[in-house]
Structure 1
Amino acid sequence: MTLNRSLLPLALAMGLSLASGAAQAQLITAHRGASYDAPENTLAAFKLAWEQGADAFEGDFYLTADGKIVCGHDKDAKRVAGSPLVMEKSTADELRALDVGSWKGAQWKGERMPLFKDVLDVVGDGRIFVEIKSGPKIVAPLLKQLGESGIPEDRITIICFNEAVTAECERLAPQIKTHWLTGFKKQKDGAWAPSVDEVLAKLKASRADGFGVQANPEHVDAEFLAKLADEGYDEFHVWTVDDADVARYYQKLGAWGITTNRPAWLREQLGLRKQLGLREKQHGLRAGGQ
């Protein structure tokens, strides 16, 4: 993606009012783990995210046919395992028997789809963005496992494109942050969908605390974000950003988080420094590293 430079003056002019000084504190979130280098949505990718200096990682989760929760993005396993197994119609054991690492490289052979509880075990002192891919029936068991994980609630964000799921999360666990997600498509008449008014309607219907949006500077610009902020929605994150100019654009606009496949590279591009913490000690990383 190439940033339209004509948008930058407006962004800079409005950035401080949107960010309230927060533009230097973005969370760098590893999309499906450090998925540029490791097979997405695997324990290997999540562990590598910490080694690459991510503040958080994001994973996708389905409820299986036998009531367990597994990590994977697509509705089936064709892309990552060459298997026709459908996530919600298969058992966890069937899905976990698949090799979901070899497609990324021989060194990843044997990587498996992790269970939700196994993913939670590697969060450590980092943060997790839990993207729900199933319908509302997943919410209660997912929240139960989150509660049993011991991860502080302020380090968990639940995200979902389905506003009914988001609303159910808010109903059952209002103390955990939820973000409603949306992408954007340009229509034949040149208009973008959804419009800012449509986004507002979805946010209100879902009772979300914030929102996650596809990083599209042509549409999701300072004016768009200011309209949402005027209605009380100023907490947002953008995905999936592997373009430094686009990342800087949303950094200026005060994005709460920036999701990327390349956390170490993007942190360096943005000049964001890390503070020494437990995770760095665990992985032998040096304080102040990029």
Structure 2
Amino acid sequence: MRCLLLAMLLGACAMSANAQLIVAHRGASHTAPENTLAAFRLAWEEGADGIEGDFYLSADNQIVCIHDKDTERTAGKKLIVEESSLEQLRALDVGSWKDAKYKGEKIPTLAEVLETVPEGKRMIIELKSGPEIVEPLQKVLADTDVPKDKMLIIAFDADTVLLCKRKMPEIKVHWLTGYKKSQFGAWNPSLAKVVQTLRASGADGLGSNGKPDVFNEDFILRLKSAGLGEFHVWTIDDPKVAKFYIDQGAYGITTNRPGWLRKELGEALEKPAGS
């Protein structure tokens, strides 16, 4: 039994050994307005290995890049994204709230974001809408030059994960979850629930918020022993926490400050995972 567990762990570590990615959360969002072309381009300038963006389906079936279900926080005017047309959404300024120099930044489409991805870099697509976004997503991804093995789709909704895997089995998909502590001190979801959902959805891995007090070495070890060792973490702007997850073999570290974090981590990014 111990030999079997060791073999599984070695396999999981080998899978992640060369995949220590610095992923820009909504672009280089510490400096530039999140989920805009300016933020994504800055992320590439800062040396990010990949970018992560949030995507909703608009009322006219266009896939647009925005985190919130409405536009009030980033545009100062409230439109419900899924009830608005692309034309209505594109009329908004989503840059000025961050800095006057970004005035006029528009909500981009997924196709526009994909066009920024340099050769060899990665695109992480977080789906905020439900399963209805999958068919339009297929069409957009069929027309991009970004290779399928450089894409990762992520979603909190397990049904959306399942449909993505059925329709696009060649693209990796991670199920996302955060953790909340119950009044009795137990973390929810439990490890058993996480494993159950990953298996039922057909997910290739797990995306977790980086809370070392719950998503810790023991939790990760048990995931690996269940054959579900691929994971990425968000949103990590602390080099010590990032280093911890690198040592655990993370597929990717999602951060608001890709250039700064890469500089802070230095040689840690060059070492094999788990060393």
Normalising by the residue count of structure 2, what TM-score does the alignment of the two structures yield? 0.91
Following superposition of structure 1 onto structure 2, how do residues 55-94 of structure 1 map, counting pairs within 5 Å? Answer: 55-94=49-88
Are the structure 2 counterparts of residues 137 and 239 from structure 1 closer, same or farther at C-alpha, using a change threshold of 3 Å?
same
What do the CA deviations read for 1:213-255 (whole angstroms, capped 9, x no partner)? 0000000111101111112111110000001111111111111
The 1-side partners of 2:222 and 2:165 are apart by 23
Q: 1:258 aligns with which of 250, 253, 262?
A: 253
Q: Which runs of 5+ in 1 are unaligned?
A: 1-14, 276-290
Does structure 2 retain, via aligned residues, the 8 Å contact 1:61–1:133?
yes
Does structure 1 retain, via aligned residues, the 8 Å contact 2:231–2:250?
yes
Compute the displacement of 1:147 (Å): 1.2
2:142 aligned with 1:153 = no
Compute the displacement of 1:273 (Å): 8.7
Q: What's the secondary structure of 2:244's corresponding residue?
A: helix
Compute the displacement of 1:57 (Å): 0.1
Compute the displacement of 1:195 (Å): 0.8
Q: Identical aligned pairs, as a percentage?
A: 53
The 2-side partners of 1:171 and 1:139 are apart by 10
The 2-side partners of 1:163 and 1:193 are apart by 16
Q: Compare 16-25 and 101-110 and name the one that shifted more.
A: 16-25
Compute the displacement of 1:20 (Å): 3.8
Normalising by the residue count of structure 1, what TM-score does the alignment of the two structures yield? 0.86
* Number of aligned positions between the proteins: 261
Instruction: Look up the equivalent residue of 2:175 and give its one-letter code.
Output: W
Q: Which runs of 5+ in 2 are unaligned?
A: 1-8, 271-275
Q: What's the secondary structure of 2:56's corresponding residue?
A: strand
Following superposition of structure 1 onto structure 2, how do residues 135-146 of structure 1 map, counting pairs within 5 Å? Answer: 135-146=130-141
Aligned to 1:241: 236
Aligned to 1:40: 34
2:157 aligned with 1:162 = yes
Structure 1 runs of 4+ aligned residues shifted over 4 Å read 15-18, 21-25, 272-275
Root mean square deviation, CA, Å? 1.8
Aligned to 1:11: none
2:230 aligned with 1:231 = no
Compute the displacement of 1:19 (Å): 2.8
Instruction: Look up the equivalent residue of 1:97 and give its one-letter code.
Output: A
